[in-house]
Amino acid sequence: MLLLGVVLPGLAAAEDEGRKVHVIEQRPFIQRLRVELTPKYGYTINEVLFDYHQVGGDLRFHITEEWAIAGSFSWYFPATTSAFEDVESTFDTFPEKRFVRWYAGGEVSWAPVYGKFILFGSWTVPWNAWLSAGGGVTLTGVDGIHPTGTVGIGTRLFLTPWLTMEFELKDHIYSENFKAGDSIMNNFVVHAGFGFWFPVGWTYEFAK
């Protein structure tokens, strides 16, 4: 009896090993049907005459794991740079100031890439990356409202079930009417922020 008690479980285990099992891993983070609120900081990286620090936020609804729609707003804090002063002092010319004041718009985003990385050899962090396209309006100067198109690329690191860290590069494209003539503007803005997700958690349909 004792021998049977030891041997039979072993035989059953061997039989289990012979079966083919289709394994589907649980997603480390569920996005579908969740809302993400992202306060963010931004900086325009390709502007040499003006410093544009920005604060703002995105409100994003994830329709599926890949597709989402979002509303976005950024308030600009403009200032001239040392290059602006250099142009004035070196060449006695005075570039026209048309400060950007704010941007408001919407976008569609698609996340076709996901992955994970190991930080310092021990911390596994899942992430994904998205592309976005959208439109809105930019206010420059005092009352210059400009229709604006945006394209962007971003990545988010999944830190907890309700918190992500996000980085995004977004090109704001609009036509500015300077005194010297109209000019197409491409303002590349780097954003960094934290995403807060609602509902704050989820339950898997199947056990792990």
Partner 1 sequence: MSQTRVHRLLLGVVVAAVVLPAVASAQRATLQDAPPIRQPLKWRAERHQVAPQFGFTVNDTYSRAFSVGLTYRYYFYNWFGLGADILATYATMDTALTEKITAELTQPGRSGQPSTAAPGFLANATLTFVPLYGKMMWFGTLPVSYDLQIDVGAGLGRTTTTGLLKAENLFAPMWGIGTRLFFNDWVALEIGIKDYFMNYAPRAPAGDTEGAKEWTQNFVFTVGVSFFLMPTLEHEQ
Task: Give me the residues that bind partner 1 (CB under 8 A), please.
Answer: 2-3, 5-6, 45-46, 48-49, 83, 86-87, 90-91, 93, 95, 112-122, 124, 129, 180
Shortest approach of partner 1 to residue 57 CB, angstroms? 26
Distance CA 25, CA 161 (A): 17
Shortest approach of partner 1 to residue 155 CB, angstroms? 10
Shortest approach of partner 1 to residue 46 CB, angstroms? 6
Nearer to partner 1 (CB atom), residue 120 or residue 204: 120
Q: Could you say which DSSP state residue 113 is in?
A: E
Which residues neighbour 112 within 8 Å (Cβ) at sequence distance 6 or greater? 66, 129, 130, 131
Nearer to partner 1 (CB atom), residue 86 or residue 201: 86
Nearest by Cα to 38 from 197, 152, 158, 201: 197
Which residues neighbour 25 within 8 Å (Cβ) at sequence distance 6 or greater? none
Nearest by Cα to 58 from 173, 182, 170: 170
Shortest approach of partner 1 to residue 106 CB, angstroms? 25
Shortest approach of partner 1 to residue 45 CB, angstroms? 7
Nearer to partner 1 (CB atom), residue 91 or residue 206: 91
Distance CA 157, CA 194 (A): 9
Nearer to partner 1 (CB atom), residue 118 or residue 203: 118
For residue 100, list its beta bridge partners: 140
Residue with tokens 């003006």: 50
Nearer to partner 1 (CB atom), residue 57 or residue 126: 126
